[in-house]
Structure 1
Amino acid sequence: MIAKHTEEEISKHIFKLFKEELKETYIYHNFAHTKQTADTVKELAEAYELAPDEKEDLIIAAWFHDSGYTKSPENHEEESIKMVKEYLGKGFPEKRLENICNLILSTKVGNQQKSLSEEIIHDADYVNMGKKKFEERAELLRCEWEKINNKIYSDLEWAQLQLEFLISKRFKTSVAVAKYGGRREKNIKKQRESIEKSKNDQYKIHLKEESTKAKVEKLGRGIETLYRSVYGYHMELSSMADKKANIMISINTIVVSVIITLFGSGYTFGDSEGFRHVRFVFPMLLLVITSLISVTFAILSAKPNITTKQKFELQNKDSSVLFFGNFAQLKLNEFVAHIKSLKEEKNDLYDSMTVDIYHLGGVLIKKYKLLSWSYNIFMCGLILCAIGFLGITIYSY
């Protein structure tokens, strides 16, 4: 009998207490941990052949030592003392009750153990550090702390905490040292290995992140090179088109000027046999007409076009603010704000540059089509004029 209650009755009382009042957050400090502590206390007490009263007091203290968690995790030892006093009642021997309270209070972190019984309950409370399933039980404590403290522990951080715990905590009794000390040392070694593994994993993750970052930066440089090359190519083609247009304008204006000068000087109708020379007017007139048409197309090709078909809108994804014909319609603050937003969003910037390149391509197509017409008309006029002169000459002579 233990204080007029059997151990079975006490265990049922604690089980019911935890079942009804202990929060689900406490997945480590629960009935399983309490029962393990009580069983280890009995084991160590029998090894030391303690007196029946001492052994009973230890068992009672072991069953109640974490009952205070049903009230509050802070100062739960004091709450446990209140609960054991209430359970045992006033008829329980005062000296033994004081001993039980001291045993419970000795499990508080930082308190020193002053007797063998206190050392036994201490070793029983921390017996997990000498068990094979230390890591499994530690994971339950990790989950409990994360819920209570609202904090997530990384694998490395938790392994370091457990290593510090294993090193700082030691078994107090020789029986516990003999029975569980060897496994505690293995657990220390295992935690050191876990720390090294976590560090290696973090290093690999760091290398992977750096590699990904480098790939992204390389990809970014590749994209920038692409846009730079395309823009340069467009500008070069535009410059070539303007040069070709200038050539056509110069040649055709010279041709038209020379022919008009010849007509004005009376070269064709200079003598009395005007009808004889008038036949040369037709090929020259053809050349003048084709030159005028050719120079018109060349001028249209080189002519700057800053007009837009519709008012530019910032929300319009089919037009780019980078095109001067569009941003010329905006106020300064609108233009600056839109450029700022483009700098913050790379995808929008690339999209805007893509739209700009597309429209530049459209301008180039128009330029080269006009130039093609200009060259073809000039070539046809020149060929027809030459054939006309050649035909008239052969016919006449």
Structure 2
Amino acid sequence: MKETLIQQAEIFVSDLFERQLSPKNYYHNIEHTRNVIDTVMLLAKMENCTAHDTLLLQLAAWFHDTGYVKVDDGHEVESVGIVHQFMKDASLSESDLSTVEQLILVTKIGEEPKTLLQKIIKDADCAHVASEDFIEISDRLRLELKYKKEEEISELDWLKQNKEFIFKHKFYTTFAQVKLQPKKEMNAYELQKKINKIEKKKANKSGSQKVGRGVETMYRVTLRNHMTLSGIADSKANILLSVNAIILSVALSNLVPKLDNASNSFLVYPTLVLLIFTVSAIVLSVISTRPNVSSTNVVTRDMIKANKTNILFFGNFYKMTLEDFEWGIDYLKENEDKLYSSLTKDLYYLGLVLERKYRLLRLTYTVFMVGIIVSALTFIISYHYLVTVK
């Protein structure tokens, strides 16, 4: 009779949940019910309950959350109504039915158990606080509340609610107090660690926002200025390159063909001077705009931790694997001091590149200017010498 009744209860509740329970019940579902039953069986055995008392506990455990198919608040009362409906054809005395009712009703939050059976089902219903999967189970309850109440619950708020619940919760049976209480305290410790970590992260983020906006603006503006100056340098180099290329092409097409005539011998030296300075200016323009990729060794995680490299510059990270590069970026995001240090290095090396570009650009302009003057003077002197000789 006992096994048949329990099997019927399992079939009835499983079918009821499958047909009528909301899919939003991520926590209060058949899985939770089965977990409560398993814990009830364990506690009943440890507390030396009779077979009959164990039967009543199993029935109450199967039906204690069935009221969720109708309502959330006050589902315990609805669960009692459903168990009455199931028990119509069952040969259960009024006294036993009343016991099952009281066992279901005592699972309500805030209700204090009085009998041993009530203590057992009360402990079983909240045994998840001592589970190794407490955080995962708690997250399922958070999802259920989120979708049913249609409001977001932040991770920090939820962890604090769980901490408060565990602080107020207590086990009633001897076995739970001895075996489950230590695990619950460990979960409370893990909860506090998570809370501290999130609060520390928020505090750091808040502090960074207060004092970091000006710093971030400084880096942003300075980097933009560096890039603008680099663009200006490249533009100037391209202008010089184009002008000298035109001068070279004109000289080669108009002056050089005339040098094989003896009457134009006075043009040899001026043309040679012009070509030397023009080619020199072209070479310097090319050198000033020629890209230079670092030949550094492969960057390692230890180098990033030791702040010996800057992976924000492609010349450093192009030899890294994608996995190491992603790790490095995540490491910088979690360590703002290293992040700002990398940005500082980026500014510094961009400055070195700019210094080289502008130094070569200045030299190129000087060569171009001197070349034009010297070439012009050479043409004048050569022509004057030709006229004087004649």
Give distance in 2, aligned partners of 1:179 and 1:219. 57
Pairs aligned (count)? 223
Task: State the Cα deviation string for residues 97-134 of structure 1 (Å, max 9, x = none).
Answer: 01100000000111111100000000000011111111
Using the TM superposition, give the Cα deviation of residue 189 of structure 1 relative to its aligned residue in structure 2, in angstroms.
Answer: 0.8
Give 1:158 deviation, angstroms: 1.2
Deviation of 1:212 (Å): 5.4
Q: Which residue of 2 aligns with 1:233?
A: none
| Inter-CA distance 94–158: structure 2 relative to 1 (3 Å threshold) | same
**1:170 aligned partner, one-letter code:** K
Shift of 1:16: 1.1
State the partner residue of 2:356.
none
Note the residue ranges of structure 2 that are not aligned, 5 or more in a row. Answer: 223-390
Equivalent in the alignment of 1:128: 128
- Is residue 175 from structure 1 mapped to residue 175 from structure 2 by the alignment? yes
- Listed as ranges, the matches of 1:337-356 within 5 Å are none
TM-score by length of 1: 0.53
Distance 2:162 2:80 in 1: 29
- Is structure 2 residue 157 aligned with structure 1 residue 152? no
Equivalent position of 2:80 in the other structure: 81
Cα separation, 1, equivalents of 2:180 and 2:205: 37
Structure 2 SS opposite 1:28: coil
Distance 1:93 1:63 in 2: 18
Displacement after TM superposition at 1:153 (Å): 1.7
One-letter amino acid of the counterpart of residue 138, structure 1 = S
Q: What amino acid sits opposite 1:89 in the alignment?
A: K
Distance 1:5 1:79 in 2: 24
Q: For residue 169 of structure 1, report the CA deviation from its aligned partner.
A: 0.3
Deviation per residue, 1:186-236 (Å, 9 max, x gap): 0111111111001011112223433553357669999xxxxxxxxxxxxxx
Aligned to 2:23: 24
For residues 1-397 of structure 1, what are the structure 2 equivalents within 5 Å?
Answer: 1-2=1-2, 5-89=4-88, 91-211=91-211, 213-215=213-215
**What's 1:266 paired with?**
none
- Alpha-carbon shift at residue 94 of structure 1 (Å): 0.7
What one-letter code is carried by the residue in structure 2 that aligns with 1:60?
L
Distance apart, 1:82 and its partner CA: 0.3
CA distance in structure 2 between the aligned counterparts of 1:125 and 1:97, rounded to whole angstroms = 20
| Distance apart, 1:6 and its partner CA | 3.4
CA separation in 2, counterparts of 1:108 and 1:202? 36
Rounded Cα–Cα distance in structure 1 between residues aligned with 2:220 and 2:159: 39
Alpha-carbon distance in 2 for matches of 1:208, 1:18: 50
Give the share of equivalent positions with the same residue, in percent. 28
Q: Which residue pairs with 2:318 in the alignment?
A: none
Q: Deviations over 1:53-72 (max 9, x none)?
A: 21111100000000000111
Asked which structure has the greater CA Rg, the reply is 1
1:312-369 Cα deviation digits (max 9, x unpaired)? xxxxxxxxxxxxxxxxxxxxxxxxxxxxxxxxxxxxxxxxxxxxxxxxxxxxxxxxxx
TM-score by length of 2: 0.54
| Aligned equivalents of 2:80, 2:107: Cα separation in 1 | 12
| Equivalent position of 2:226 in the other structure | none
1-structure distance, mates of 2:127, 2:221: 59
Gaps of 5+ in 1: 223-397
Work out the CA distance in 1 between the residues paired with 2:176 and 2:46: 10
CA offsets 1:285-317 (integer angstroms, 9 cap, x no match): xxxxxxxxxxxxxxxxxxxxxxxxxxxxxxxxx
Taking the aligned partners of 2:184 and 2:220, their CA distance within structure 1 comes to: 53
Residue by residue over 1:33-73, the C-alpha shift from the partner in whole angstroms, topping out at 9 and shown as x without a partner, is 00000111111111122122211111000000000001110
Using the alignment, how far apart are the partners of 1:27 and 1:155 within structure 2? 17
CA distance in 1, matches of 2:92, 2:25: 31
SS at the partner of 1:109? coil
Superposition deviation, residue 156 in structure 1: 1.4
2: CA distance, partners of 1:10 / 1:29: 17
Supply the distance in 2 between the matched residues of 1:186 and 1:48 (Cα, whole angstroms).
Answer: 24
Amino acid aligned to 1:154: S
Shift of 1:141: 0.6
Determine the C-alpha separation between the residues in 2 that align with 1:209 and 1:151: 27
For residues 372-396 of structure 1, what are the alpha-carbon distances to aligned partners after superposition, in whole Å with 9 as ceiling and x for unaligned?
xxxxxxxxxxxxxxxxxxxxxxxxx
Q: Distance in 2 between matches of 1:160 and 1:128?
A: 17
| Secondary structure at 2:4 match in 1 | coil
- In the other structure, the counterpart of 1:270 is none
